[in-house]
Chains A and B, each alone.
Chain A
Amino acid sequence: AQTVTQSQPEMSVQEAETVTLSCTYDTSENNYYLFWYKQPPSRQMILVIRQEAYKQQNATENRFSVNFQKAAKSFSLKISDSQLGDTAMYFCASSNTGNQFYFGTGTSLTVIP
């Protein structure tokens, strides 16, 4: 089984600033995927970004980027130029090739105007 740990239950950031959310995971798999999901107050789960473990290059999606450290089993999410709409719960997740998904406990991010 895999475990995913998010050690920051709550974080806040000023609008337009940059914030980094931490995530570590533990797996014995060689091939796996990592994800960040966003859950705004509307409760819809939205995929923010994903990373294939075999790819060394860090994934980026507009203002969102990850710092994937495979040896350290670390997968942090950086949000640049934070916007009010980024206020949400953020979940880190991993999945193996059998498509079992493992979620962290979430980080509640508040963007302050």
Chain B
Amino acid sequence: DTAVSQTPKYLVTQMGNDKSIKCEQNLGHDTMYWYKQDSKKFLKIMFSYNNKELIINETVPNRFSPKSPDKAHLNLHINSLELGDSAVYFCASSQVIRVTGELFFGEGSRLTVL
């Protein structure tokens, strides 16, 4: 069973389109994250949700909107895609209460904007 799964794994789209990436974790964790990894491999936190509540919202264009319908899911919707949005997006989860201290990652979704 995949602990953190995200779909799709690959996404190729045109500038100006809207797209979504879905993420689900079956670990029972209470905190989920979205990270962006650029072409230089830098990992940058975008959002963090704890029990469906937004707790981290880094400087990200408001074209990016996370949605957490429940604590096992954190989806990322991107409006009006731009060339600079091309990157690998990682979903991750962790447990805050009774901290185990480990971040579990999904396999990443490679977004290519043409």
Contact = CB atoms under 8 A, between A and B. Distances in A.
Interface residues of B, number: 24
Contacts, number: 53
A47 B107 contact: no
A103 B43 contact: yes
A97 interface: yes
Size band of the A side of the interface?
Answer: 20 to 34
Secondary structure at chain A's binding surface: helix, strand, loop or mixed?
strand
The dominant DSSP class at the B interface is: strand
Given A45-B90, A89-B41, A95 B56 contact: no
B84 interface: no
Interface of A: 33, 35, 37, 39, 43-45, 47, 50, 52, 89, 91, 93, 95, 97-101, 103, 105-106, 108
